[in-house]
Each structure stands twice: as C-alpha cells, then as structure tokens.
C-alpha cells in the first residue's frame, strides 16, 4: 500500500480542469477550444476513477461512467469537427469571432 491519498489525485484533476478552462476562455481557434474541452472531460474522468477506487474498491461504477464519457466525447468530437469543416468552407476561417451571424 502506498501513501498516495485521494487528495493528491483530486489536486491533479483540478489543475487539469482549470488549465482546460483557461484554454477555453483565451483561445479563438475552434480546434484548440475543442482540445480544451477534451482536457476538461479527462480531468473529470480521473475524478470518477479515483472516487470509485476510494468509495467502492470492489465495484466498477465509476469505471463505467468513465467509459460512457469517453464514448460521448468521441461522438461529440466527430460532430464538432464536421461543424468546423462546414464553417471553414463557408467562412474560410475557424476563428470563433468570425462566425458571428447568430450573435445578434
């Protein structure tokens, strides 16, 4: 048994989450924003697995939550990239500030 407590893992996942959130705020490239969303989802996955190990070491519910999160992230990435390609075709840029027809 090692001395890694659950607090350490929560620190790591919190730092990853807010790194992703900073990227989502500051980048204008849509693909980089999508990558920040993937970072956020991964930090949540770490939390699920850590709490599963800590609360119910003999069960697998957190692992299944993580697997379904990965599933939904794959579907989300496919649809979002289709939208980005379509937007690039019509606007010739993937800057979020260029796609402002729905803004007003």
Partner 1 sequence: MSAIQILFWFLSGLALVSAIMVLISKNPVHSVLWLVMVFFAISGHYILMNAQFLAIVNLIVYAGAIMVLFLFVIMLMNLDKTSDPQKNWWMKLAGVISGGCLLMEMATLVRQAAEMKEKTVMMKEGSIGLIGNLGKLLFSDYVVPFEISSVLFLSAMVGAVVIGKKN
Site residues for partner 1 per CB under 8 A: 1-12, 14-23, 25-29, 31-32, 34-36, 38-39, 42, 45-46, 49-50, 53-54, 57-60, 63-64, 66-68, 70-79, 81-86, 88-89, 94-95
Q: What angle, rounded to 10 degrees, do the helices at 30-55 and 61-91 form?
A: 180
- Closer CB to partner 1, residue 27 or residue 104? 27
Nearest to 43 by CA among 25, 62, 68, 18: 18
- Is 19 in contact with 28 (CB distance < 8 Å)? no
In the complex, the smallest distance separating the C-beta of residue 102 from partner 1, rounded to whole angstroms, is: 16
- Closer CB to partner 1, residue 33 or residue 104? 33
Kindly list the distances between the CA atom of residue 75 and the CA atoms of 31, 36, 62, 92, in Å, as whole numbers in the listed order.
Answer: 15, 16, 20, 25
The number of angstroms, rounded, from the C-alpha of 72 to the middle of its chain's C-alpha atoms is 11
- Closer CB to partner 1, residue 92 or residue 104? 92
In the complex, the smallest distance separating the C-beta of residue 90 from partner 1, rounded to whole angstroms, is: 10
In the complex, the smallest distance separating the C-beta of residue 95 from partner 1, rounded to whole angstroms, is: 6
């Amino acid at each position: 048994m090692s001395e890694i407590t659950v607090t350490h893992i929560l620190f790591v996942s919190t730092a990853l989450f807010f790194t992703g959130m900073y990227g989502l705020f500051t980048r204008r490239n849509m693909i980089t924003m999508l990558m920040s969303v993937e970072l956020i989802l991964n930090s949540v996955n770490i939390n699920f697995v850590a709490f599963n190990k800590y609360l119910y070491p003999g069960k697998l519910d957190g692992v299944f939550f993580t697997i379904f999160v990965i599933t939904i992230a794959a579907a989300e990435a496919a649809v979002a990239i289709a939208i980005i390609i379509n937007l690039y075709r019509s606007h010739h840029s993937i800057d979020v500030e260029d796609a402002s027809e729905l803004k007003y």
